[in-house]
A and B are shown apart, each in its own frame.
Chain A
């Protein structure tokens, strides 16, 4: 059972700082072998999780959700009202998405998602977060200088557009619904999904085009 003793944990961290090897690979190897030795983990299951999050659970799921919302107004309405149920319909409900909310970009609104306190992310539809999302520069600046952050991603936001930043301070997770690109009227759902970028679902990308190279 956890003891919930912050002072003790602070001391543990100080010991680990002094006594563990500095190489992250060695630290993680030590953690894995202790858990395997204690019978708490099977390394083949670790392999399976790595495969699942490399091959199946990633931003292509989110792109499918977005493409469905663009193609089917009823699905979009459901997604905006009850995102966990709507993504479950596609088989994508899971890790950190039971309280998912979708926020929609319009001509006058741009949404941007961050977690300033840790690195909360809707894993089961976007996979593992990119390194920049978890880094201090993004976490510190997204709430205070969203337009400067967006400019670094090559996204210039007109002064007339309101930027809404969503700081994930609770167990809710946010997914941005980007605007459907012009000239995409004749595309199938599968083709539309190919236009959606991961960053457009976080909000660090905005103007998708009918030729956008999406997620492979």
Chain B
């Protein structure tokens, strides 16, 4: 979807605020949200549906509210959507015991245990599939000109652009369908674009931009 999240190449965001305090968290609540996100996610959720729910945050909130605040808001939205909590509970902050069964709480983990959990969370997204890749390394391809309403990982700035297949990564979960609850795998490629192809109006560098793009986003470039 052509949402506010699709920021690549958009003008107007100014200079980068590179001076920030040391350390991973600048406020205690940021650390809590990070910890919450590592402890629990909505059951059966795909990362792509979570990302799509974050993209659906109102544009003014997406741009103006702090980064980890958007994680909390996305968590609320996905939990409400999945029926884990209700909007009334979120707004009041009070659990309604009549409406939802309480789970048996998980055993608490210490730092050593969560570091092992982190190792276990090295999830892979690739799989063997029956079809061979359509494109080969070095081949010229053109990306889709058109987007769609749902979640996609083809950014607007790289639509309808010519690039070269730099690498084949095997078949990975296709995000456009995964965000709708359908897990299918499709060949994924690293595609390299000349900066001049992406931003001809900017003129003259030999710089390159690499994107990882699924087969569905690509067509053979006709001569």
A contact set with B: CB distance below 8 Å: 1-6, 8-10, 12-17, 19-20, 24-25, 27-42, 44-58, 84, 88, 91, 93-95, 97-99, 116-119, 124, 127-128, 130-132, 134-141, 143-147, 149, 152-153, 162-172, 204
Contacts and interface: CB of A to CB of B under 8 A. Distances in A.
B35 A46 contact: yes
17 contacts: A1-B82, A13-B77, A27-B72, A28-B68, A28-B72, A35-B36, A41-B105, A44-B110, A45-B109, A47-B35, A48-B111, A54-B23, A94-B120, A117-B51, A135-B17, A143-B209, A165-B210
Contacts of A35: 36, 39-40
A155 B213 CA distance: 29
B157 to A, nearest CB: 7
B19 to A, nearest CB: 9
A44 B157 contact: no
A139 B106 contact: no
B222 to A, nearest CB: 24
A11 B113 CA distance: 38
Contact of A49 (B49, B114, B206, B210): B114
A4 B180 contact: yes
A95 B118 contact: yes
The winner among B24, B77, B113 for most chain A CB atoms within 10 A is B24
B40 A165 contact: no
Given A35-B36, A52-B114, A171-B173, 17 more contacts: A2-B82, A5-B81, A24-B27, A25-B28, A41-B105, A45-B108, A46-B32, A48-B35, A118-B55, A132-B16, A137-B14, A139-B8, A140-B8, A141-B13, A153-B16, A171-B47, A171-B172
Contact of A16 (B90, B107, B125, B208): B90
A98 B123 contact: yes
Interface string B81-124: 11111010111010100001011111111110111001111111
Nearest to B33: A28
A103 to B, nearest CB: 9
Given A16-B90, A116-B155, A162-B207, A143 B8 contact: yes
Contact of A12 (B69, B77, B124): B77
B131 interface: no
A4 B8 CA distance: 26
Contacts of B220: none
